[in-house]
Amino acid sequence: MVQFYSPNRRSVNRGIISVTADNLDAQGQGIARHQGKTIFISGLLPGEQAQIQLTEEKRQFAKARIVKRLSDSPHRVAPYCPHFNVCGGCQQQHVATELQVNTKASVLEHLIQRETGIRISAHPIIHSPEYGYRRRARLGLQYHAKQRTLLMGFRQSQTNDLVNIKHCPVMRPELEQLLQPLHQCLNRLQAVKRLGHVELVLAESGPLVVLRHLDPLKHEDKQTLRTFSLQHQVAIYLLGDEKSLEPLMAEQAAPWYQVDGLKLVFSPQDFIQVNDGVNQQMVTQALAWLDLQPTDRVLDLFCGMGNFTLPIATKVQAVVGVEGVAELVASGQYNARLNQLHNVDFFHANLEAEIHRQPWAAQGFNKVLLDPARAGAAGVMAHIVKLAPEKVVYVSCNPTTLARDSKVLLEAGYHLVSVRMLDMFPHTGHLESMALFCSEPMDIE
C-alpha cells in the first residue's frame, strides 16, 4: 500500500511522564512544562504533580490526560454538581472560586500586555455568586430508541452525546426545579421523537419555556403542555421553525426584566445577559466610567435591545443605539416608549459601514459604548476614532478581540485607563471583560 507523508501529522508519545503544573489557563487546564514544551492537562491544578499521557502533540505545545494524580492542591474543591466531569457545560467546578477568577484576570492582563505593551490590572473583579446565577439555558432533546426514553441535557465534553441532566446548580433555582417535571412532561408527548431542543428562561414575570418541535403538535400534546404550564406557573412558547415562535396560550404576558430601575420587555428569542447579577453591576460600572452628564450625546454600538442604551438615556441629552438585528432594534424602540424615554433613537444598520457618515451621526457624539460579539469590532474601530469621543467603554466577551481592537484606539492617542474582569460565567472557560479608554490621561478609583 502506498503511504503519503503529511507534514502536519505528528506522532504522539504514548509513554507516561511525570509533571508538576505551575499555572492554570482560562479554560481550567493545568499548564506544565516538559523538555521545553508547554503541556495543557485538563483537571490538573497549579502545584499538583501527576503522571500524564500525551493525547495531542504540536510543535509548540501538547495536550495530555491524567493517568494518576500524585498530590492535591489546596485550591481543589469537591464539584457540587453530580454531572460534573461528564457534562460539558462546566469545566472548573473542581477549582476554588478565588483561583478561577484570579486566573481569568491574569489571562486578560497578559493578553492586553502582549498585544499593546501596556501593563494594567483587571481588578477589582466584578463577582458573581458561585451557583444559581444562570437565568437562561438551552438543553438538547434526543429520543433514545433502545431505552425508549427522551434524553434532555447538555452535550458531553468534546462529543455530540447528550448527558441526561437532572440537576444543574448553576441555573437559577426557579429553573433547576423545573428540570425533572419538564422532562417527564416532554417524555409523555406523542411527538417525543420529533423534538429539537428546549430553552428555559427566568424573567421578572416568571419562568418560561421555549420548545422547538420538528412537526406540528397534535391537540393532545398541546393539552399536556397546557396542564404543565398551569401546574408549574410557566409560560410556554412553541417554536415550529426558527421564525414561528408562538405562545401556547394567548393570555400569556410578555416576559420582561429590570435593569437600572427600567423595565425591558423582550421576546423569548431576544438576547439577554445570562447572569442578571453581573449584568446589573456591569451596567452600573459602564455608566460610572462614562461619567454621564446632561449635555452628553452618547453612541451605543451593538446595542441589542437597549440593555445599556436605555439606562444611559435617563442621564444624558441624547443617545443613539445601533444594532444589526432588526428584531432587537424593534424591542429597543418599544422599551424606549414603555419607559417614556424620548431622547433615545434606535437604528438597524450595518456596523461595518462608515458610521460617522450616517445621518444620525451628523451632530456627533462625545462618548461611545460598544458591546460586540466574539468576533469583536474591527470594522468599526477606525470609525469610532473619526468620531473623536472623549471616552469609549468597550464591553467584551472575547479578551483576544478586545486586546486586538484596543490597538486602534491606542494608536490614535487614546489612553487605556481601566479594565475589569467580569465573572459572568463561573465554573466555565468564558472570560468577559470591559475596558475604559479616554482621550486624555486620567485616574480611576
- pTM tops 0.85, yes or no: yes
185 appears as a binding residue in the annotation: no
87 appears as a binding residue in the annotation: yes
Torsion of CA 420, 426, 430, 435, to 10 degrees: -10
Whether the pLDDT of residue 306 is over 60: the answer is yes
> What's the distance, CA 91 to chain centroid?
15
Whether the pLDDT of residue 241 is over 90: the answer is no
Whether the pLDDT of residue 4 is over 80: the answer is no
Confidence of residue 443 (pLDDT cuts 50, 70, 90): low
* Catalytic residue check, 438: no
CATH number of 105-128+275-438: 3.40.50.150
303 appears as a binding residue in the annotation: no
pLDDT at residue number 69: 95
Question: 136-256 sits in which CATH class?
Answer: mainly beta
pLDDT in tens, 250-270: 888 899 999 999 999 999 989
pLDDT at residue number 303: 97
85 appears as a binding residue in the annotation: no
User: Given its phi and psi angles, is residue 206 left (phi above 0), alpha (psi -120 to 50 degrees) or beta?
Assistant: left
Whether the pLDDT of residue 11 is over 60: the answer is no
pLDDT at residue number 444: 55
Select from 2.40.50.140, 1.10.10.10, 3.40.50.700, 1.10.443.10 the CATH code of 16-71. 2.40.50.140
273 appears as a binding residue in the annotation: yes
Confidence of residue 12 (pLDDT cuts 50, 70, 90): low
CATH 3.40.50.150 domain position(s) in the chain: 105-128+275-438
pLDDT in tens, 130-181: 999 999 999 999 998 888 899 999 998 778 889 999 999 999 999 999 999 9
291 appears as a binding residue in the annotation: no
Catalytic: which of 185, 303, 397, 438? 397
CATH 2.40.50.1070 domain position(s) in the chain: 136-256
Helices (runs of H) and strands (runs of E) counted in the chain = 9, 22
Whether the pLDDT of residue 442 is over 80: the answer is no
Instruction: Identify the bridge partners of residue 235 per DSSP, sorted by sequence position.
Output: 208
Beta-carbon-side half-sphere exposure of residue 83 (alpha carbons within 13 Å):
19
Confidence of residue 2 (pLDDT cuts 50, 70, 90): very low
User: Given its phi and psi angles, is residue 132 left (phi above 0), alpha (psi -120 to 50 degrees) or beta?
Assistant: left
